[in-house]
Amino acid sequence: MRTEEVNGGPGRHNFLPEQYERTARSEINHNYLRQQFSDYKEVFKRLEVLLENGDFTLGRAVDEFERNFSALTGTKYAVGVGSGTDALLLSLKALGVDKGDEVITTPYTFFATVGAIVTAGAKPVFVDIGEDYNIDPKKIEAAITERTRVILPVHWAGLVADMDAIQTVATRHGLEIVEDACHAITATYRGRLAGSFGATGCFSMHPLKNLNVWGDGGVIVTNREDLHQRLVLLRNHGLINRDYCEVWAYNSRLDTLQAIVANHTMEKKLSNIGDSRIRNADYLDRALRGTTGVTIPGRPADQRHVYHLYVIRVERRDELLKFLVDRGIDAKIHYPVPMHLQPASRDFGYKAGDFPNAEKVCNTVISLPVHEYVRQEQLEYMAASVKAFFE
Ligand SMILES: *Cc1c(COP(=O)(O)O)cnc(C)c1O
């Protein structure tokens, strides 16, 4: 790939409409932000206070947000940061991860998980996934070396990884856990909330996540006082006060504006967002189960899956994708190429066949929209369309 292709060449723009074109044309859409933020006038009132106070970064609303968020996740501390990616990066740095260290993670994730490990200076070591799309705890031990520092599970699609088993391995080998909970806000595993298991739990508030703001935003939760203090330093230049720097660090503060939007969404809508996604997913599970060519993953009874994505596996995936798109359904592939086979992973020494489960999943998954603005007749139409394809 040439640089011009990568960067869009002369005359490129940051806004790339082609990327959104299919979504914009579809009748049943993955993107619902105009509807979700239709009450923006209420938020504007809260923003007037921001303009009067002038506390644009790390302002009063950020304190309020952090209190709300730690209560929501059942943790002692929350630290608002610039993005979900930064939440992961700062967590690794707060744990002392550096050059020469290894971090164990899944090859079936969004790029940010691996990007954070690499930009922290460490090497990602991949471990294959299980039937639930999450890292397979039984395979972690074989990947541990004397350089391993952290296990970084991703709660894919909104289903928490098998944290009891992961914690057992981590404890046995003296490793830390950082949870990538970007898909999993308010998901639970055996009664405990996503983000509360690891040394830290990392969340994104990107517009397409379940708790979303008007741009980028992220948050880290932890129960550990030492990590909390470290994270507060790392997100704000390492400053202990205006004049003294304790450690050379980053600028990754949560904007007060975004904290105001997040507070609004948490108060007014978050429980509805989760509940309607679960209801819609349950409907599709029931409607599609038993269809030849379709596999609905098992849903553990002791977990609350929050369906950031509704992901099923199908035969003839690429044909089905086209079929659904032609019928106005914004079906998507999250994601077609696993992390170990990305061009950026070329120096890590992996090859096709190394993680057969992840590779198979990347070739067979398809996601259907289940957000809170998908209507019952649209769910029925999606299920009927998938069935029609296979009949
Ligand atoms: C979105 C996402 C991130 C990164 O979050 P940003 O806020 O976009 O930086 C990290 N991990 C996973 C699994 C994600 O889906």
- Read off the pLDDT of residues 243-270 as tens digits, 9 standing for 90 and up: 999 999 999 999 999 999 999 999 988 8
Nearest Cα residue to 319 out of 269, 366, 252, 280? 366
- Dihedral angle over CA of 36, 40, 41, 47, nearest 10: 150
Q: Locate the ligand 1 atom nearest the alpha carbon of residue 183 and give its number.
A: 15
> What's the pLDDT at 25?
72
265 Cα to the center of ligand 1, angstroms: 19
Probe target for ligand 1 pocket from 209, 212, 311, 335, with the most ligand atoms within 8 Å of CB = 209
> What's the pLDDT at 271?
84
Residue type, 44: F
H helices present in the chain, as ranges: 3-7, 17-25, 33-36, 40-53, 60-73, 84-94, 111-119, 163-173, 225-234, 256-268, 270-288, 317-326, 356-364, 376-390
Probe target for ligand 1 pocket from 86, 106, 110, 114, with the most ligand atoms within 8 Å of CB = 110
> What's the pLDDT at 268?
85
> What's the pLDDT at 325?
96
113 Cα to the center of ligand 1, angstroms: 7
Q: Which residues have CB under 6 Å of ligand 1?
A: 83-85, 109-110, 112-113, 154, 180, 182-183, 204, 206, 216, 218
Q: How many Å separate Cα 379 from the centre of its chain?
A: 24
> pLDDT band at residue 5, thresholds of 50, 70 and 90?
low
291 Cα to the center of ligand 1, angstroms: 32
Q: How far apart are CA 216 and CA 144, in angstroms?
A: 34
352 Cα to the center of ligand 1, angstroms: 25
> Buried (b) or exposed (e) across 169-190, using 16+ Cβ within 10 A?
bbeeeebbbbbbbbbbbbbbbe
Probe target for ligand 1 pocket from 154, 180, 208, 216, with the most ligand atoms within 8 Å of CB = 180
Residue type, 196: S
pLDDT tens digits, one per residue of 128-155: 999 999 999 999 999 999 999 999 999 9
Backbone angles phi, psi at 253, to 5 degrees: -95, 150
Distances (CA, A) of 391 to 236, 290, 387, 388: 57, 12, 6, 5
Nearest CA to ligand 1 atom 5: 84
> What's the pLDDT at 2?
54
What is the arithmetic mean of pLDDT over 213-234?
98
The per-residue pLDDT of the chain, averaged, comes to 94
Q: How far apart are CA 240 and CA 226, in angstroms?
A: 14
Q: Locate the ligand 1 atom nearest the alpha carbon of residue 204 and give its number.
A: 7
> What's the pLDDT at 39?
86
> pLDDT band at residue 17, thresholds of 50, 70 and 90?
low
Instruction: Taking the CA atoms of 18, 19, 22 and 28 in sequence, report the sign of the dihedral they define.
Output: negative
Residue type, 60: R
Tokens 């541990």 belong to which residue?
144
Q: Looking at the predicted structure, is the pLDDT value of residue 206 above 90? A: yes
Q: Locate the ligand 1 atom nearest the alpha carbon of residue 206 and give its number.
A: 7
Q: Locate the ligand 1 atom nearest the alpha carbon of residue 83 and give its number.
A: 7
What is the arithmetic mean of pLDDT over 43-58?
94
223: part of which helix (H) or strand (E)?
none
| Portion of the chain with pLDDT greater than 70, in percent | 96
> What's the pLDDT at 37?
84
What is the arithmetic mean of pLDDT over 277-300?
96
Q: Locate the ligand 1 atom nearest the alpha carbon of residue 112 and give its number.
A: 10
Nearest CA to ligand 1 atom 2: 182
Q: Is the peptide bond before 335 cis (omega within 30 degrees of 0)?
A: yes
pLDDT tens digits, one per residue of 312-356: 999 999 999 999 999 999 999 999 999 999 999 999 999 999 999
Q: Locate the ligand 1 atom nearest the alpha carbon of residue 217 and give its number.
A: 7
**Residue 195 burial (CB count, 10 A):** 31
Would you list the DSSP string of 60-87?
Answer: HHHHHHHHHHHHHHT-SEEEEES-HHHH
What are the structure tokens assigned to 246, written together? 């304790």
329 Cα to the center of ligand 1, angstroms: 24
Probe target for ligand 1 pocket from 92, 108, 206, 307, with the most ligand atoms within 8 Å of CB = 206
- The pTM is what? 0.96
What is the arithmetic mean of pLDDT over 346-372?
97
Backbone angles phi, psi at 221, to 5 degrees: -115, 150
231 Cα to the center of ligand 1, angstroms: 18
